[in-house]
Structure formats: C-alpha cells, structure tokens
Amino acid sequence: MKLTVELGDRSYPILIQPHALQDVAVWDDCVAHAEVVVVTNDVVAPLYLDALKAGLARPGRRLLTLVLPDGEAHKNQSTLTLIYDFLLENNLSRKAVLVALGGGVVGDMTGFAAATYQRGIDFIQVPTTLLSQVDSSVGGKTGINHPLGKNMIGAFKQPVAVIIDSTVLCTLPARELSAGLAEVIKYGLIGDADFFEWLEQGMPALLANDATAVSEAVYRSCESKARIVAADEMEQGVRATLNLGHTFGHAIEAEMGYGAWLHGEAVGAGMAMACAMSQRLGWISDDVVTRALTLITQAGLPVEVPSKMTPSAFLKHMARDKKVESGQLRLVLLTDLGKAVVTGDFSPDVLEQTLQEACARVA
C-alpha cells in the first residue's frame, strides 16, 4: 500500500509493506546517498537493525549506525547532542541521509538533527511503533522536550520517505499497542465518523494485533494525516485539530515526568477531558461522549487523569501550549462525532469546571 503526502516539489511517499526493512528494491527507490546513518535505540536495534542494514548496504556506500538510549525521558538536548557529536566525529557531509529506525522519540530527534545539522540534510522515517506509524512519522514535526514543556523545541522538517514495515508490530508490547491506538481513535473523532464506527467493530482484532486489521488502521490513519498535512503543513489551521486531547495530555506528561505515562496514555485521558468539556459546552451529545469513552477504554487506555494531577498543575502546563495565542488558550474540541474545531471561544469557568471534575474523580 502506498500513499503520497502532496507538498509540491517536497512531496514524499508513505509505503506500508510487509518486510520492507530488508527489501532492497524499496531502498533503491528512496536512497541514492553515498553516506547513510541509521539512528535507532537500544530496544529496537537488537530486533530490526540487521534487517535494515541488509536492505541499505551497497558496494561503495558508507553505512553507519548510532544506537541511543530508549525512552521519552531521553528525548532531550543531551541525547540530541549525541547525534550531532556522532555526525561531526564521523565527518558526515551535507549529502548524507539519516534513517530513523524506532518510535516517535527516535523519529522526532533524528528529524530535528537532520533539520539543523549543517543547516539541513535529508532523513527518512522508519517507524516501529503503532503510534509512530500512524502519527509522528508523517508530517514533518520534529523536536525534543524541555523540562517546562513537551516538544517545545523543534522544527518542521519533512522526510524524503516514510517506510512502514507492517511486520515489526509483532514484537510491540501490549501497552505500546494501546498507546498507538489513542492516535488512531483520534482520527475517527476529529474527521472520520465512518472510521470511528469501523474501530468500534474492529477493536478486538486490533488489540489482538491482527495483521490485516492493523494494516487497515495504519493505512486509514496515514491517509487522514497525509490529507491534513497537505492542506496545512505549518499548522496554521486544520492541522491543529490533530491535537485533540494533546493539550491536556501534554500537561499530564510534563507533570508526571516524561515516560511515566506513555504519550498515547496521556492522550487517551486528554481526549476524555476534551469530550467532557465539549459536552459541558453543549456541543456534543451524551451518546457521543459515551461512545468515545467506551472505545478509549476498550483500547486499554485511561480515561481518568493521574491522582497527582490538580487543576493548577494542568493550567500551569497548558499556559505554555503551542496553541496559545496572545495569551489566550485554544483547545481542540468536538462539535459532533467526526467533527472538531480549534477554539478559544469558551468561558474560563467551563475549563475550570472540567479540570475540577477530572481531578475530583481520582482524588
């Protein structure tokens, strides 16, 4: 299966294929570089690095590997510097290409390094988690976390290709699979009610990691993401709806410490809060909320916030959200199943009530 992110002369393919990692033809189509650096982590490397190297190796090609520590806790300036150090110590030129083999952390940091090393070199996304396959690998958002906010330091840098090997999810832990399903559910909630209904029927197969069901979910998610990115690459409008639940979720991640809750887990709770606030505003029905919370729960995701969270903790972190404009917080909320808006048109009291209710349930 193949999709294209339509961005004019910067358009690029998304290839979804079994055993793509070691497929020489796949790599001949997207890599003509004489210098290739694979950036991965110490969890993924033992599983898939050799297969990828077999696909990339060519006579005369310089093929190097950098293995980073795994986890959201390492998505920071110190780890980014490790990438720069490796590139500089090995005298990599501006014609090199970085290949990000891993989940969203590896992809985001490798992309940011590619955006900034010698003012920009090529990179390719090879996502190995469901979350990165359906979301972070597509669209060119790259960056690192700061202690005061998630993904607050970064750049837009589109890859030259996204290569999704549909067989790699067979080794994905159940918790990581559920975390990825948060972003899949998001696409149904914000723009595709038919897909949401498909997920309601298909969730048991997805949780069982059924290859056919998962490939369909990845394809439909990437299709939605590619369409939105093509319409709004720099997130000036519709692309911001992809952040449903993320403003609440990022606050949870920052307050709990990066990695304590997986990104998808925080987004699951955040989407539940966005639904509750949308309902409080009278924008969506009880039925929509019930269906959304049921599906999030079925996916193995939390709909309650951590007991450590307080309204003031939420507000502290949300004040630094990238959707804040002129001091006004804007949120992604629902107006119906499959319809979302980015808005600051709500009373602060409604937000306060939403936060109070969410925190009171777990106090």
| Per annotation, catalytic residue among 2, 89, 91, 119 | 119
The catalytic position among 150, 263, 317, 330 is 263
Q: Which of 35, 183, 216, 253 is catalytic?
A: 183
Is residue 19 annotated as part of the catalytic site, yes or no? Answer: no
Write out the H or E segment, with its range, that includes residue 347: none
Looking at residue 219, its amino acid is Y
Start-to-end CA span in the chain (Å)? 47
User: For residues 263 and 250, what is the distance between their CA atoms, to the nearest angstrom?
Assistant: 8
Catalytic site includes residue 308: no
Could you tell me if 5 and 158 are in contact, meaning their C-beta atoms sit under 8 angstroms apart? yes
d(CA 137, CA 102): 10
Given 235, 253, 255, 265, which residue is catalytic?
Answer: 235
Element (H, E) at 276: helix 263-280
Is 183 annotated as catalytic? yes
Concatenated DSSP letters of 327-345: TB--EEEEEETTEEEEE--
* CA separation for the pair 316, 276 (Å, rounded): 20
Nearest C-alpha neighbor of 264 from the set 253, 273, 274, 256: 253
Among residues 33, 150, 157, 225, which one is catalytic?
225
3-state helix, strand, coil in the chain (%, to 5): 50, 20, 30
Query: How many of the other CB atoms lie within 10 Å of CB of 148?
Result: 10
35 labelled catalytic: no
Residue of 72, 243, 280, 317 marked active site: 243
Choose, from 33, 74, 239, 291, the residue flagged as catalytic.
Answer: 239
235 is catalytic: yes
Q: DSSP letters of 129-153?
A: SHHIIIIITSS-EEEEEETTEEEEE
Alpha-carbon distance of 142 to 154, in angstroms, equals 5
To the query of whether residue 263 is one of the catalytic residues in this protein, the response is yes
Q: Of residues 33, 74, 141, 280, which has the active-site annotation?
A: 141
- Placement of tokens 């903790």 in the chain: 313
Nearest CA among 35, 7, 162, 153 for reference residue 100:
162
> Whats the size of the chain, residue-wise?
363
Catalytic residue, chosen from 150, 220, 246, 323, is 246
Based on the residue annotation, tell me whether 323 is a catalytic residue of this protein: no
Contact 293, 303 (CB under 8 A): yes
- Exposure on the CB side of residue 274, measured as CA atoms within 13 A: 34
246 included as an active-site residue: yes
Number of CB atoms found within 10 A of residue 208's CB? 11
Q: Which two tokens stand for residue 100?
A: 């990000």
Catalytic residue annotation: 119, 141, 183, 225, 235, 239, 243, 246, 250, 263
